[in-house]
Amino acid sequence: MNTATANQTIELKKNRGGHGLEPSYFARRNGWDWLFAVLVLAGTAVAFALYGSAMDFYEKAILVGTVPSLIWLAWFWRPLGVLSVVVAAFALLAIWLYQTPAGTADLARADQVFMLKYFISSQSAILWMSLLFFMSTAFYWVGMLTRAGDSFELLGSRLAWVAVTLALIGTMVRWYESHQIGPDIGHIPVSNLYEVFVLFCWMTAAFYLYYEDVYKTRRMGAFVMLVVSAAVGFLLWYTVVREAHEIQPLVPALQSWWMKVHVPANFIGYGTFAIAAMLAFAYLIKQSAHETRWYKLAPLWILGLVLCLEPIVFRQSAAEKGGSYWFVYFGVSALIVGAIMFGRKRIAERLPSFEVLDDVMYKAIAVGFAFFTIATVLGALWAAEAWGGYWSWDPKETWALIVWLNYAAWLHMRLMKGLRGTVAAWWALVGLAITTFAFLGVNMFLSGLHSYGEL
């Protein structure tokens, strides 16, 4: 054995713990991992002690199942553990601040206590989330288009983390607030468009931040955060037009524990499908960087058309209230499209390789498809309990099936036929259009058993 080979063997043994074998899964856990597990177990025990009598069997089962899931996720990706602890600490602080000297909760304190009023009541936290997602998107794009790109992209990433944190704090506090309004009103905040758009925003951003960490590049953020900011834009408009931030009792169809698992699983699918589509768009931009023929720049024109026509889609509500909001939205959309058009060469240089974009697009769709499948099965079980049948060809169910078939075909072509490149990217973009119609279009233009979710 020569010297170089011997040195490589020694180094390999060092990397494997000196024994020629990988350390076991538990041996790779550090002190923080075990501390986090203890905190989760302790928090669960306290929850059972304080609120166990108010939970039914299914709620207790969900809570028990959450414990190993949360611990595993935090061990799999350690930033999630830190995020969980910070969110729990601020949510508990908000709950404590809601307490009166007499030991009862008073929601009026949201307008009286400084921290609640300006930072960690549910509405304050969600408004901060909205602002920070906009700022994050802006910094990612400044980083994409300027020479000092890395510094701005780092700032965009940090702001995205803070926005996710505040979104989760707002969600947890809103859950608590709903229970203080009345015994029959409290529910997990995933029951209407306002709440699920908050869910979509933080979940999409969190999945993107995971891919950003794994692939060691922040240069996908400018495109992914565009779809998050678009969702925030809709959320703010919907809040103004419908006063959707007000907590309302659940309609009878939603008074089920199935909602707690069906809706989050669905939105993991929506969020990861959106990530894949935006990276597909980035792929096509990189591909057309040096193209001058207008018809070869179709991705840009399509994006511009979608962004600029969105105000027309919401024209009825815009006419009632908030018309000027959509006018501003139109202007900002046009500026974004123009910036991408004129800066596409610089953007292409900054973007990761085609291989990275393609790989993240594939993994995002694979994760989304798995969870969307779970959500569809859970939805069928929920329908059987609520309406007496697993499937009724309701418009929402039909379009959910179309979404599932679309991504099933995409993955089949990827795994069996080696689908890559331009066709895969275009298909992912079309998939986002199908998914968006299944999510919002059905609520707007069709009626059925899911009409309680209409705009």
CB atoms inside a 10 Å sphere around CB 129: 26
**pLDDT recorded at residue 340:** 81
Q: What is the mean pLDDT of the chain?
A: 86
Closest among 397, 388, 386, 390 to 446, alpha carbons compared: 397
- Tokens coding 120: 């960690």
Q: What is the identity of the amino acid at 369?
A: F
Taking the alpha carbons of 264, 137, 358, 281 in that order, is the dihedral positive or negative?
Answer: positive
CA angle 193, 197, 201 (to 5 degrees): 175
Rounded mean pLDDT of 190-196? 91
What b/e readout covers 250-273, taking b as 16+ CB neighbours within 10 angstroms?
A: beebbeebbbebbbbbbbbbbbbb
Q: How far apart are CA 92 and CA 87, in angstroms?
A: 8
Query: CB within 8 A of 135, min separation 6: which ones?
Result: 156, 159
**420: Cβ contacts below 8 Å, ≥ 6 apart:** 358, 414
Distance CA 55, CA 173 (A): 19
- Tell me if 264 sits within 8 A of 378, measured CB to CB: no
C-alpha to C-alpha distance for 274 and 271, rounded to whole angstroms: 5
Is the confidence at residue 89, as pLDDT, over 90?
A: yes
pLDDT band at 303 (very low <50, low <70, confident <90, very high): low
pLDDT above 80 (res 77): yes
* Structure confidence at residue 23 (pLDDT): 83
Q: pLDDT grade, residue 301 (50/70/90)?
A: low
| Helix (H/G/I), strand (E/B), else coil: 127 | helix
Give the mean pLDDT of 222-228: 94
pLDDT greater at residue 75 or residue 344: 75
259: pLDDT confidence band, cut at 50, 70 and 90?
confident
CA 319 distance to own-chain centroid:
30
Give the tokens for residue 49: 């002690």
Tell me the backbone φ, ψ of residue 289, rounded to 5 degrees. Answer: -55, -40
pLDDT classification of 118: cutoffs 50, 70, 90? very high
- In terms of average pLDDT, the best of 47-56, 279-288, 361-370, 430-439 is 361-370
Alpha carbon distance 87, 171 (integer Å): 10
Instruction: Report residue 310 as tokens.
Output: 């969105």
Give whole-number Cα distances, 233 to 197, 203, 217, 257, in Å.
10, 16, 26, 30
Measured at the CA of 176, the angle between CA 170 and CA 182, to 5 degrees, comes to: 135
Q: Two tokens at 164?
A: 């996710």
Q: Letter for the amino acid at 320?
A: E
Question: What's the whole-number mean pLDDT along residues 248-252?
Answer: 83
Instruction: Provide the whole-model pTM.
Output: 0.90
Q: What percent of the chain has a predicted confidence (pLDDT) above 70?
A: 85
pLDDT recorded at residue 17:
45
Q: What is the mean pLDDT of residues 89-112?
A: 93
From 86, 89, 92, select the one nearest 74 (Cα to Cα): 86
Q: Which of 292, 161, 158, 141 is nearest to 219 (CA)?
A: 141
pLDDT digits (tens, 9 = 90+) for 422-440: 899 999 989 998 998 888 8
Question: 152-156, 257-261, 302-306: which has the minimum mean pLDDT?
Answer: 302-306
- First CA to last CA distance, the chain: 72
Residue 356 CA to residue 349 CA, distance in Å, equals 14
